[in-house]
Structure formats: C-alpha cells, structure tokens
A and B are shown apart, each in its own frame.
Chain A
Amino acid sequence: MTLWWIGDIVLLVVIVPIVVYLLNGVLSAARSIVPSVRQIADVAAAGSKDLDATALLLTTQDQVRQTVAVVASYGGSLDVIIDDAEEA
C-alpha cells in the first residue's frame, strides 16, 4: 500500500507538472508561429501586387524596339549626310 501512495505522489508531483510543462511549450510554440505566418502571407500578397506593373514591361520592350529602329534609321541617314572623320 505504501508503494501505491509513493506512486501517486510521484505521479502528482513529478509526472503531471512535466506533462503540463511540455504541452504548454508545444502550444506556445504553435501560437507564436501564427502571427509570423500571417505577416508572411501579407508580404507575399503585397509583393504580388507590386508585380502587377510587370505587364508594362511588354510595352517597354515594344517601345525600345521602335526607338532603336528609329535610331538606326536616323543613324543611317547621318552616315550618308555627314562626312567621315579624316584619318589622322
């Protein structure tokens, strides 16, 4: 009978606090992850919104092509109009 009582005391004084401590640690860790995940989700959404302007790169690409074509045409005309530099 004495051993039963010793077992009960060990269970109450040692096992129960250890179990509660460990479970509380797991719960605290899980709770601390939630705000971080929410912040990451907000940042990902903001980053995705910032990239909405990337579609304009296609316009830029087209404008650059046209500009370089005009410059090439202008350069060709200048090449005909202006004399070459004299060789030193």
Chain B
Amino acid sequence: MPAAGAVLLVTVVLIVLALVFFLVSTILQLRAITAGLDDVIAGVGEILEKSAPVNAVVDDINANLDAGVDLLEGLLVKKAGMDDALGLVDGLYPGAAAAGFRQFPDSASITPPRIGEVYTKGTLTLARLGREAPIAMANPAGPVLRNVEGGSLAARLLYPDGRQERPENLPRSPVIGTDAPTQYEQREGGGQPRKRLPAR
C-alpha cells in the first residue's frame, strides 16, 4: 500500500471516530431531553386536569354573586330611593356612585347626596349592618370599637373629651385632729357662736 493510501485510510478512520463520538454524545443528550419533556408533559397534563373545572365553577360563582348584587341593589333602591341609595353607597365606598348601579344604568348620571359628610361612618356602618349589629366587629381597618359583651366603659372611651368631664382623681378629704399633718390655729372664741356682722 502506498503511503498516500495509508494516510487516507487513517484520515477516514479519524473522521469516523469523530462522528461516533459526537453522534453518541448527541444521542445521550437527546435522550435526556426526551426524559425531561416527559416530565414536562406529565406536569402540564396535571395542570390541565386540575384547571379544567375552574371555568365552570367560577362562572357559577359569578352568576350567584351577580344575582346577589342585583337583589341587594334592587332592594336598596326600592327601600331608600335612588338618590339616597346612591348617597349611602357613596358614603360607604367613596366614588362608587360614579359607576352607578348595574341594574339602573341611568343612576350613574345622578349626583348623590352627601350622606357620608352628614352622618358619621358609624351611622353608615349601622345602616349597613343593621341596628343591633356590633359596630365594626368585622372591620378590617382596625380593632372593634365597642365591646358588645363588656360594659359601657368601652363606649365612653370613644369620646374621652366629650363624655368624661369629671376629673380622674378627686382631691382627698383633709385629715383633721391633733395628729393631722396640717395644724390650723384655733380661732378666738372657739366654741362660741360666730360673730355676726351687722346687717347693712
């Protein structure tokens, strides 16, 4: 065999070895990719399976809530009148009157009365919850204002300046007797009736 043929043979063998090495490595990587994609498909399948009933359930929840909103809006408008109903809603949720009621598209153009500025938030809360409802019991903005099970002191604390007019501690009674810390001079004519000034 000539030397050139031997070199050619060695070169071809080198090319084949390179092909084998790289192709086998590529095959191994593709197998890893296939295994990873199997995991992906399993995860996506679970997502599809779990999210399949969500649309129907959410639609049902929204339908029920829509019915409740329509009912309450209709009742509020029927009992309070359109203007006062808008004022009540705007007092509780400032700016909500601009959107109006869903069942009454014309309500968005009504200027609501300023009920929220005339009455206090507590009054509006009472109007919302009912007369005997505990005030702000479930208000997320802060703790309960009134202890419905406790005494009336909690209600007094609501307005400390207006309701609590007497001093916190009254002055003590003076100590009298011979052992008193403050000794007063005995007035003249002790035991005698007081001198009466002449009448003018």
Give the B-binding residues of A (Cβ under 8 A). 1, 4-5, 7-8, 11-12, 15-16, 19-20, 23-24, 26-27, 30-31, 33-34, 37-38, 40-41, 43-45, 47-48, 51-52, 54, 57-58, 60-61, 64-65, 67-68, 71-72, 75, 78-79, 82-86, 88
Contacts and interface: CB of A to CB of B under 8 A. Distances in A.
B25 A68 contact: no
Interface stretch (B64-72, B94-102, B138-146, B175-183): B64-72
B61 A61 contact: yes
Contacts of A4: 2, 4-5, 8
Contacts of B154: none
Contact of A44 (B2, B11, B19, B40): B40
B22 A41 contact: no
Q: On chain B, which size bracket covers the interface? A: 35 or more
Contacts of A54: 50-51, 53-54
A10 to B, nearest CB: 10
Contact of B60 (A34, A61, A84): A61
- Tell me if B's interface is mostly helix, strand, loop or mixed: helix
Interface of B: 2, 4-5, 7-8, 11-12, 14-15, 18-19, 22-23, 25-26, 29-30, 32-33, 36-37, 39-40, 42-44, 46-47, 50-51, 53-54, 57-58, 60-61, 64-65, 67-68, 71-72, 75, 77-81, 83-84
Contacts of A30: 25-26, 29-30, 33
Contacts of A75: 71-72, 75
B72 to A, nearest CB: 7
A16 B8 CA distance: 12
18 contacts: A8-B7, A12-B11, A15-B15, A19-B15, A27-B22, A27-B25, A27-B26, A30-B33, A34-B32, A37-B33, A37-B40, A41-B39, A57-B58, A60-B61, A75-B75, A78-B75, A78-B79, A83-B79
Nearest to B20: A23
A85 B46 contact: no
Contact of A31 (B18, B29, B64): B29
A41 B58 CA distance: 28
A5 B22 contact: no
A52 B47 CA distance: 9
Given A15-B15, A33-B33, A83-B79, 6 more contacts: A11-B15, A23-B23, A27-B22, A48-B47, A85-B80, A88-B83
Contacts of A15: 15
